[in-house]
Amino acid sequence: MKQTAPQTIPVASAISAENSQASGTTLHLPDEPLVVIQANNKWNLINLSDIWAYRELLFFLTWRDVKVRYKQTLLGAAWAILQPLFMMIIFTIFFGRLAGVDSAGVPYPIFALAGLVPWTFFSNTITASGNSLVGSAHLITKVYFPRLIVPAAAMLAGLVDFVLAFGLLIVLMFYYRVPLTTQVLFLPALVLLTALFGLGVGTWMSALNVKYRDVRFALPFLIQLWLFVSSVILPSSSVPAKWRWVLMFNPMSGIIEGYRAALFGLPFDWPALGVATALTIVMLFYSIYSFGKAERTFADII
């Protein structure tokens, strides 16, 4: 092996010749360090290649969350379907029957369910991601990996429940004989948008939660309020036209109306979807930025 002079003077290192063992190993050291550890190393920057390198861990953490979630429950994964189903029944009784909500010609139960399924995904994502870092304190203080994987795995685990609940929605659509149109092709994009917005909010919450444990208490409350302004129960058209622009600031409203348009062949509200996409991107960047900033100190304060 080629002997290269050290680039810097070995400060305070007393490796005398007699002590340094002449090991005849053929270990080839790279010329550049694989890792440099310094203060402010990753200021405001999430290392995407690092996350890619740890993609298997992302898979395993997601798999663990899915696997463990319904352990020791009687109904198991049926909970993924039961939650939105019961909400749908309650909403149908109170809003569909008693209040007679106008659901754009679609039977109210599936109108509500089309909102509830993505909403449940979103609210589960921000709850699970928001609490994920604090819940993984034992990992964070013991081993290195890109921390962003933790809230991301929580989101992906929720995606499994979402798919199950979506199955229920499709079944009910057949039951109510609501035909599918080619607009269902927009669904993957909408799912992606929901996932990314959930990830954005959840990641931000998870970083805040490390510092301020208030998040844990505020989050359920926030989610309850958010539900009422997300066009889950009532269509956005029920809001007076004059005020509808306010709703645009809530991406979930636009996204949920997007799901309905895609599923029931209704016209898309493109401005609302456009604003939702823009806000999702902004949210995602902001949360990754603030997460990256906070990441450096997680292990110190968690």
Partner 1 sequence: MRPIIRVEGLSKLYYLGGSGAAYSTLRETLMESLRKPVRYLRRGNSGSEKLWALSDVSFEVTPGDVVGIIGRNGAGKSTLLKVLSRIVEPTSGRVELYGRVASLLEVGTGFHPELTGRENIYLNGSILGMSRREIETKFDEIVAFAEVEKFIDTPVKRYSSGMYVRLAFAVAAHLEPEILVVDEVLAVGDAAFQKKCLGRMRDVASTGRTVIFVSHNMAAVSSLCTKAMVLWEGKVEYPLGSVEGAVQQYLSQVHQMTKTRLAERTDRQGNGRVRIKDFATFDGQGNELEYLATGQETHFRIYYSSEDTSVQNVAVAIGITSNSGGFVSMLSNQVAGDTFESIARDGYFTCKIKKLPLMPGNYTAGLIIRSNDVILDWIQQAVTIVVEPGDFYGTGRMPPPTHSGVLLEQEWTLNGSRQTDAGKE
179: left (phi over 0), alpha (psi -120 to 50) or beta: beta
CA nearest neighbour of 192 among 220, 155, 161: 155
Question: Closest distance between partner 1 and the C-beta of residue 260, in Å?
Answer: 37
> Are residues 231 and 115 in contact, defined by beta-carbon separation less than 8 angstroms?
yes
| Distance of alpha carbon 280 from alpha carbon 252, whole angstroms | 10
Number of residues that bind partner 1 (CB under 8 A): 60
Give 267 or 300: the residue with its C-beta nearer to partner 1.
300
49 lies in the binding site for partner 1 (CB under 8 A): no
Question: Closest distance between partner 1 and the C-beta of residue 203, in Å?
Answer: 18
| Distance of alpha carbon 295 from alpha carbon 43, whole angstroms | 9
289 lies in the binding site for partner 1 (CB under 8 A): no
Give DSSP secondary structure letters for 227-245. Answer: HHTTTSSS-GGGS-GGGHH
Give 140 or 159: the residue with its C-beta nearer to partner 1.
140
The neighbour count for residue 159, using CB atoms within 10 Å, is 18
Mask 57-96, x = binds partner 1 (CB under 8 A)?
A: x-xxx-xx--xx--xx------------------------
- Name the segment binding partner 1 (CB under 8 A); options: 34-42, 89-97, 113-121, 248-256: 34-42
6 lies in the binding site for partner 1 (CB under 8 A): yes
Question: Closest distance between partner 1 and the C-beta of residue 25, in Å?
Answer: 3
Question: Closest distance between partner 1 and the C-beta of residue 85, in Å?
Answer: 26
161: three-class secondary structure by DSSP = helix
Mask 196-225, x = binds partner 1 (CB under 8 A)?
A: --------------xxxxx-----------
Q: Using CB under 8 A, pick the residue from 98, 225, 242, 300 that binds partner 1.
A: 300
Q: Using CB under 8 A, pick the residue from 25, 100, 240, 242 that binds partner 1.
A: 25
Cα dist. 142→64, 84, 302 in Å? 18, 38, 12
Using CB under 8 A as the binding rule, the residues of this chain from 131 to 160 that contact partner 1 are 138-145
> Are residues 260 and 183 in contact, defined by beta-carbon separation less than 8 angstroms?
no
CA nearest neighbour of 215 among 202, 228, 225: 202
Token pair, residue 181, equals 């149109």
Which residues are at the interface with partner 1 (CB under 8 A)? 1, 3-4, 6, 8, 10-16, 19-21, 23, 25-27, 29-30, 33-41, 56-57, 59-61, 63-64, 67-68, 71-72, 138-145, 210-214, 296-297, 299-302
